[in-house]
Every structure is written in structure tokens, then in C-alpha cells.
Amino acid sequence: MTQILPFKAVRPLRAKAGLVATRSYDDYSEAEIKAILQYNPYSFLHILNPGFKFQHQITGSHKFEMVRNRYLEFKEENSFIKDKKPAYYLYKIVSRETSCFGIIAAASVKDYENNLIKKHEDTIANREILFKDYLKTVGFNTEPVLLTYPDSPRLNELLKQVMQTRAEYEFATTDKEVHYLWKIDKTPLVETIKEEFEKMSHLYIADGHHRSASSYMLSKETENGNPGHNGRESYNYFMSYLISESNLKIHEYSRLIRDLNNYSKEEFLIKLDEHFRIENHGNKFLAPLEKHHFNMYLDGEFYSLYLRKTNYKFSDSLSKLDPYILYKKVLQPILGIEDLRNDRRISYIHGKYDLIEIKSRIDSGEFAVGFGMLPLSIEEIKETADEGLTMPPKSTYIEPKLRSGLTIYEF
């Protein structure tokens, strides 16, 4: 039984929602950030980049404190309000290609601790600690962890009924998306949604492993310092965006490698031949057609690599994953890449980028070789999590990606 609760969000006034909401900070170029900060006084980027007010670059713990100050200023200027009643928030995104919807709510750190919220990726300890310290200083979180659940006909019908009513927010963005948000705070509907989640034995983290781990660390640290702890405090929960499996969009990551580890092109192909059947397609690109089929771009030519299954043993769900196979048979033993997170010789491009981007970066000489594969399925992600295993870094690029600043969870 999972515990997914409504909460009192801090959020922008209706008239300002579209101006406040931002993409993830890392999605913007420096020029974009500068333009937004200069011409949009309501952008949440002012909170995330507090030094702009003084035309000064600020880092470290001092930056965390100033993020807190900018946030308080937004509240003092009545750009933000806090809801008086706990609510669920139904968030829908419509793009040129598709649409999806889910519920923003508070997930339990106890469920995370007890593996009712299951993980499939490793986290880096220093990143966990850094974000935990950030959350502790600023006192709020605006980036929900993306959780997924099996499709629920009852829950799906309830949410569709809500979407027939007028949205609290409705605005378009420059990337041609339309965003909608509904507040759900009527007691009967709130209780029904809560009960529907209680029927679910498990949830899965789709995106946000570091955020959930940091929230868990913060909750334990705060609990230990609170003699009156009762388990109902806000730090016992973390903001999440819960989306059904059918609404989830999973893309692959391509791998780009800067050199061939001192092998010539011919020597490298001979090494690959031990584990793969290789087909050269010249300048014709052939996308992977099935699992364990990789594409490769090397020295101006496209190749297909088909795993030789006669000398590869499938021992568990992890061993069947294409990102793992590529690591164990190519990246580690041939190209000498041990640390997939920190080795500067490897870079990643998620599957929303087209082939031209990958080809151009290799043709430019920045990289020597690139590998692509099919996206993983939700079943593969769940099987790996159920077995308590962790995927290689950058195994999945998962959408939707929410805008920051629309719902804020205070500790």
C-alpha cells in the first residue's frame, strides 16, 4: 500500500503562471538565461540565479541562502500564494506530437525507505549530499520526482472528469507546448484519489533518483534533530509527479566516444567482431530494428552490430539491457571506459536529437565513434527495479519534463 497525499502548494497567481514557469535550468543556454532574466521579472530563473540582481556570480552555500532570499521576495511581492487546503494538482502537457497528464502530490519517504517506491539507477553520494544541503537551506522544492504506476481505469476516469472543467492554469510556451493545471481539493474526490493509490503495492521512480535520495537524507537528518517528531511533518514527504505507465515516454541515449583507445579503425572492428556480427551500410543509416541490435557511426560510415548470442550469457534482467551489453562488451573492455558517469571520453545524446546531430559531432572530429540502440521499455525498467538491480547511467531519457515554479513544496 503506497501513501500519496495532497499538500498545500505555494504557486503563482493565475495571471503570472506562464511568466513564472521555466524549463530545467540546464536546458537553457547562457544567452537565453540572460535574456529571460533581463526582460521577464516574474521568471522563476530569478530565484534559481539570485546573483543576477547584483550582476554578480554566486556559488556554494552562499548561493543557497540567496535563492532562499529571492524566493521570500517573490512571496512578499504576492507573486506566489499558498493554498489553504491540501490538494492534488492535475498537470497536463500537450505538445505537437503527443499529450500526457498526471498528478502532483506528496510521496512518502517511508515508502521510499521500504522499497515500495522502487529504484533502478545508481546515485552519486556527493550529489545527494549537495542537493540535500540545498533543500535544507532554501526550505522548498520545485522539481517533483517522476513516479509511474500501472494504468488504473478508475483513476484515469476521475482525472478525465476533472479535465472537463476550467483549468487553474492554461498557457503556451515557445517550444509549442500547452500546459494545464487543475487544483483538486474537494474532499470526496481527494479521498477517492488517495484510496486508489493505496491499492497499489508499488510505484517506480522513472526520473529523479538523486532528488528522491536527497529528500530521504533530509528527512532522516531533520527527524533526528526534532524531539517532537510525529511522522506527519512535511519533511516526511517529497513532491512527486505521478503518471500512468501509458502516459510515460521513454527515449534512448546514444553514446559518443572521443577516441578508439589507441586502436586503428581496422583493429577496432576486429575487436568488435568477436562479440558482434557487423554489417557496413556506408552512408546509409539503418535504425536498430530489435533488441541487441546497435547502430554505429565510425569514420563517415554507418554500421549495424548484432550481438552474437552464442558467446553471451543472459543471467538476469540487467544482463539483457542494451546499455549494459554495450558497456560490458565494448565500452569497458575495448574502449577502456570504466566510469560511465565521470570519464570525460564519453558523452551522451538523448534520443530526441536526430541523427544529424550525432553524425555532425563525429564528422567534426570532436568524437571518434557513436553508438545507438532502441529505447528501453517500462517492463525492462520494472524488472530491473524488482530484482534490486541498477542500470548503467544514462540508460533512459524519460518524459514528460515539467516546468519549474508552478507548484512548490515547502518543508
Strand 253-257: give its sheet, edge to edge: 276-282, 301-307, 293-298, 369-372, 253-257, 346-350
Q: Is residue 176 part of a domain?
A: yes
Q: Are residues 275 and 366 in the same domain?
A: yes
Q: Is residue 78 part of a domain?
A: yes
Q: Are residues 28 and 53 in the same domain?
A: yes
Q: Is residue 388 part of a domain?
A: no
**Structural domain count of the chain:** 2
Q: Are residues 237 and 259 in the same domain?
A: no
* Residue 6, pLDDT score: 98
What is the span of the domain harbouring residue 151? 4-248+399-410
Q: Are residues 226 and 266 in the same domain?
A: no
Q: Are residues 227 and 189 in the same domain?
A: yes
* Residue 236, amino acid: N
Q: Are residues 234 and 293 in the same domain?
A: no
**Predicted confidence (pLDDT) per residue in 112-156, tens digit:** 999 999 999 888 888 899 999 999 999 999 999 999 999 999 999
Kindly tell me the burial class for residue 352, based on how many C-beta atoms sit within 10 Å of its own C-beta (0-12, 13-18, 19 or more). exposed
Q: Is residue 358 part of a domain?
A: yes
Q: Are residues 131 and 170 in the same domain?
A: yes
Q: Is residue 138 part of a domain?
A: yes
Q: What is the CATH number of the domain that holds 264?
A: 3.30.1760
Q: Which three cell numbers stand for residue 17?
A: 503562471
Predicted TM-score (pTM) of this structure:
0.92
* Residue 285, pLDDT score: 87
**Kindly report the CA angle at 387 between 385 and 391, in degrees rounded to 5?**
50
Q: Are residues 100 and 180 in the same domain?
A: yes
Q: Are residues 145 and 165 in the same domain?
A: yes
Q: Is residue 209 part of a domain?
A: yes
Q: Is residue 178 part of a domain?
A: yes
Q: Are residues 262 and 239 in the same domain?
A: no
Give yes or no for a cis peptide into 288 (omega within 30° of 0): no
Mean pLDDT by 10 residues, the chain (411 residues): 97 96 90 95 96 83 94 95 97 92 98 96 88 96 96 96 97 94 97 97 95 96 95 96 95 96 98 97 90 96 95 94 97 96 92 79 96 96 95 92 95 92
Q: Are residues 170 and 312 in the same domain?
A: no
Q: Are residues 284 and 227 in the same domain?
A: no
* Residue 354, pLDDT score: 66
Residue pair 333/231 in contact (Cβ under 8 Å)? The answer is no
